[in-house]
């Protein structure tokens, strides 16, 4: 080591008392906000004997430092059906000016890295970057988490709601009430979401409202209904869909016997064929 040169505010510095020889300049510390020279870059910082002036026996060398940069990675996550793309804006924290935009797509795993961004402002303060989604899809809420260091995640959560209508029908004597369950999923993993008591006071109808429309993986949630505690002597049948509404029909299946006796006054006649008649009037 022949000596140390420390530059001033204007970026210049010097070292005297050297013999005319070959020297290599190695950067010990870069200016704040600038990248330190790599070993490969330092290999060109050679002062040769021929660089020395014959008149004043001085030599000069210019070293160029590039500003420090950062990369900002952003990933898109969907809770609900994923769209075909999402436009992300890169901004400085607290500012509305858009620095860069990028369209995230599933073919790129919904991830992108903004590279070569200035790390510091001109006054030396670190730049805080953030990301934001442009034009959030209808039916979604967008939330940004993470940091420049760890990367950002923009999570879009589907908040669309649906409703399920159900109507009770009786074939036979009408009961006092019926408890209807709203079911999510299929057996054996089905879950009872809600219960409602139907009766004549509500016209044997109800609408379950404010229900999530999609699972977290984007598939539509399957809803159905069933009756809890079917009355004795009845069978229960569920028909319909979420879109059209469900109908629960209770059909009375109780049985009884009807006996008939034929009596003759006088001689007994030929065999008689009886008809069993169902009458709607009393």
Residue with tokens 């660089």, as numbered in its chain: 51
Asked whether the beta carbons of 250 and 168 are under 8 A apart, the reply is yes
Distance between CA 139 and CA 157 in Å, rounded? 8
Average pLDDT over residues 77-88: 95
Please give the model's pTM, rounded to 2 decimal places: 0.71
What strands, in cross-sheet order, belong to the sheet with 223-228?
A: 191-198, 178-184, 223-228
Distance between CA 236 and CA 248 in Å, rounded? 7
Distance between CA 214 and CA 266 in Å, rounded? 80
Is the pLDDT at 281 greater than 80? The verdict is: no
User: Hey, CA dihedral for 121, 123, 124, 125, is it positive or negative?
Assistant: negative
List, for residues 9-30, the tens digit of each pLDDT value: 888 999 998 888 899 889 988 8
3-state DSSP call for residue 133? strand
List, for residues 149-163, the tens digit of each pLDDT value: 999 999 999 999 999
Q: How many CB atoms lie within 10 A of CB 155?
A: 16
Is the pLDDT at 181 greater than 80? The verdict is: yes
Residues in contact with 142: Cβ distance below 8 Å, sequence separation at least 6, in sequence order: 133, 136, 154, 155, 156, 157
Average pLDDT over residues 83-103: 95
DSSP letters of 2-53?
-------TTS-----S--SS-EE---SSPPTTBPPPPHHHHTT-EE-GGGS-
pLDDT reported for residue 19: 87
Q: Which residues pair with 178 in a beta bridge?
A: 198
Position 282 confidence tier, pLDDT thresholds 50, 70, 90 = low
Average pLDDT over residues 164-186: 95
């Amino acid at each position: 080591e022949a000596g140390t040169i420390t530059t001033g505010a204007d970026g210049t510095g010097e070292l005297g008392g050297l013999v005319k020889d070959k020297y290599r300049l190695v950067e010990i510390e870069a200016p704040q906000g600038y990248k330190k020279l790599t070993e490969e870059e330092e290999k060109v910082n050679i002062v040769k004997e021929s660089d020395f002036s014959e008149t004043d026996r001085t030599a000069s060398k210019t070293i160029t430092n590039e500003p420090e940069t950062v990369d900002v990675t952003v990933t898109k996550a969907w809770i609900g059906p994923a769209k075909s793309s999402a436009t992300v804006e890169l901004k400085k924290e607290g500012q509305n000016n858009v620095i860069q935009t990028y369209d995230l797509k599933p073919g790129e795993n919904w991830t992108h890295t903004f590279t070569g961004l200035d790390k510091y402002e001109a006054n030396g303060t670190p730049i805080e970057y953030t990301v934001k989604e442009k034009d959030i899809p209808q039916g979604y809420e967008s939330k940004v988490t993470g940091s420049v260091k760890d990367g950002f995640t923009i999570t879009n959560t589907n908040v669309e709601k649906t409703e399920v209508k159900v109507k009770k029908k009786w074939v036979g004597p009408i009961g006092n009430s019926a408890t209807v369950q709203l079911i999510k999923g299929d057996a054996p993993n089905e879950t009872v979401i809600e219960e409602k008591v139907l009766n004549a006071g509500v016209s044997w109808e109800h609408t379950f409202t404010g229900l999530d429309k999609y699972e977290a993986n984007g598939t539509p949630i399957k809803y159905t209904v069933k009756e809890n505690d079917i009355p004795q002597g009845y069978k229960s049948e569920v028909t319909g869909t979420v879109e059209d509404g469900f109908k629960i029909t209770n059909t009375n299946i109780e049985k009884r016997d009807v006996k008939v006796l034929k009596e003759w006054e006088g001689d007994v006649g030929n065999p008689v064929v009886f008809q069993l008649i169902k009458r709607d009037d009393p």
